[in-house]
Structure 1
Amino acid sequence: MEFHFDMLWKTESRNKKDQQKFWDLRACEFNSRLVSQRLTQETKQVLKFLKDKGALEKNSFVLDIGCGPGKYTLAFAKEVKWVTGTDISPKMIAFAKENAQSRGLRNIELVQASWPEVKLEDTGWKKRFDMAFAAFCPGIDSAEALKKMVEASCKHCFLSGFVSRQDQVMEGLKKHLGIQGKTWGNQIYFSFNLLWQWGYYPE
């Protein structure tokens, strides 16, 4: 059954250079949203949820996969001991570094990397983190990528994504760059089924 869901999930082949280019083009837009009142409230709600679940504690080490310009990375850094953020886009990482520096946050490590290509043994990330976190991250795009996320954590994992969405700007950019579209709704469905098969009980 795992093979079945893994094959269903692998609906497209991702080109790393195209993905970097696409997210580099959106880096300024995402960075400008950090001060948005809606996003600030959204971040607070996510942090409250994680705290209520015991996933965010003062001595926690957190991995933020697909961190972008630091929306959650910056918020986590104010609550935990250490945060590692990773993103495929060099420009996203550059913005995240600037944002961390301007806020005086020094308990953050930022790594430019494509999650599917990350080797946990090489980075020393296997079971290193108290929580592995990925919010709306296209890098969690297969059973292998999901399992790697689980293996990076020794306690908690948080994965969120769209069940359904339409974004004309994004679709226009993808068409211009020759990037195949994706059905966002499948990520959560496949994740739940795979996690159940692996013996976990996702909420």
Structure 2
Amino acid sequence: MKAFFNPTVWEQEWKEYRDGAAARMRRSGIDPATAFNAKAQKFNEQSFNEEGRKRSTRIVNWLESRGVNFKGASVLDVGAASGVFTVPFAERGANVTAFESSPPQVELLKRNTARFTENKVEIVSGQFEEINIRQKGWDRAFDLVFVSMCPVVHDWDSVEHILSCARKFAYISMPVSSSENSLVNEVTPLITGRPFEAKVTEMGYLLHLLCLKGCAYETLVTRELKTTEHTHKEALEEAMMWLRHHDLPADERSRSIVEEHLKRNYPEDKVQVHQGGRFGKVLIRLEDQSMYVGE
């Protein structure tokens, strides 16, 4: 029982955890830093369509309701992609440093933020884990450090790297359970003989260590789903990737089963896939830690 209250034990357990997003990507032969290179354009479209903008607005509104003021604030957006949050931050008056490792995403980010001249967006690329915070001048430099669904969060050391940049707030969002995919749900029983079962993920390590480390924070867990449309070929490759991510059989037999399932159930070469899951959002208060600050 003593180990439950020992942060050193939890730090080591998280470091050795093998089912985090970054670890699963690497097992699938995917570099987390460039995982979205091939999907950059599609991800950009999904980020800025009506549904994508609504998702971003809900998060930004929640942050403002918790006391984050974007007008004139300095924000570090880690894993900025093509600007899904950088853009609304800048629209609300923030000065944003957008950090992104994927070259195709960086090009889209430049295009999407070119219109901001008064509240400029600075774009930085590279590997966030390799940034020397002090040399970069980022030590406690930002009112808000924002990290949404980014594999740079993979152990407590990576969390401390993020917190070291923040002056007032740090926001981290992560999956609470393994991601859901309607197509994977359909084909998993055909491949394994049993239904797909979502697993609880590393969000628990983050929350428990924040508690043990004496941090002031608030969290929100929601279930979010989005719908995308694919051709048979795109859906097949998507399903195979998800099978690998979840350590399910992704061999030629599985590929044949998925192909046959798509032909039989989606004859028009249009496959609607519902994907998402349970996600946790954590706002860490580094300066004003009382719930009465806004009164």
Bigger Rg over Cα: 2
Number of matched residues? 189
What is the TM-score with the length of structure 1 in the denominator? 0.83
Structure with the bigger percentage of strand:
2
Give the equivalent residue in structure 2 for 1:108: 121
Give the equivalent residue in structure 1 for 2:226: none
Mapped partners of 1:24, 1:43: distance in 2: 21
Give the equivalent residue in structure 2 for 1:151: 164
Mapped partners of 2:68, 2:142: distance in 1: 11
C-alpha contact (below 8 Å) 2:70/2:89 kept by paired residues: no
What is the TM-score with the length of structure 2 in the denominator? 0.58
C-alpha contact (below 8 Å) 2:71/2:94 kept by paired residues: yes
- Seen in structure 2, the aligned counterparts of structure 1 residues 93 and 152 have a Cα distance that, compared at 3 Å, is same
Q: Deviations over 1:126-154 (max 9, x none)?
A: 10000111111111111011111111111
Partner residue of 2:68 out of 34, 37, 55: 55
Mapped partners of 1:143, 1:150: distance in 2: 10
Deviation at 1:73, TM superposition (A): 0.4
Deviation at 1:49, TM superposition (A): 0.9
User: How large is the Cα RMSD of the aligned pairs?
Assistant: 2.4
Q: Deviations over 1:87-113 (max 9, x none)?
A: 221221111111111xx1131011112
- Seen in structure 2, the aligned counterparts of structure 1 residues 26 and 169 have a Cα distance that, compared at 3 Å, is farther
Mapped partners of 1:142, 1:72: distance in 2: 24
Mapped partners of 1:38, 1:30: distance in 2: 12
Q: Which has the higher contact order (CA 8 A, sep 6+)?
A: 1
Give the equivalent residue in structure 1 for 2:83: 70
Q: Mind listing any 5+ residue stretches in structure 1 that lack a counterpart?
A: 171-182
Deviation at 1:35, TM superposition (A): 2.5
Deviation at 1:34, TM superposition (A): 2.4
Q: Deviations over 1:37-77 (max 9, x none)?
A: 22111111111111111213312101111111100001101
Structure with the bigger percentage of helix:
1
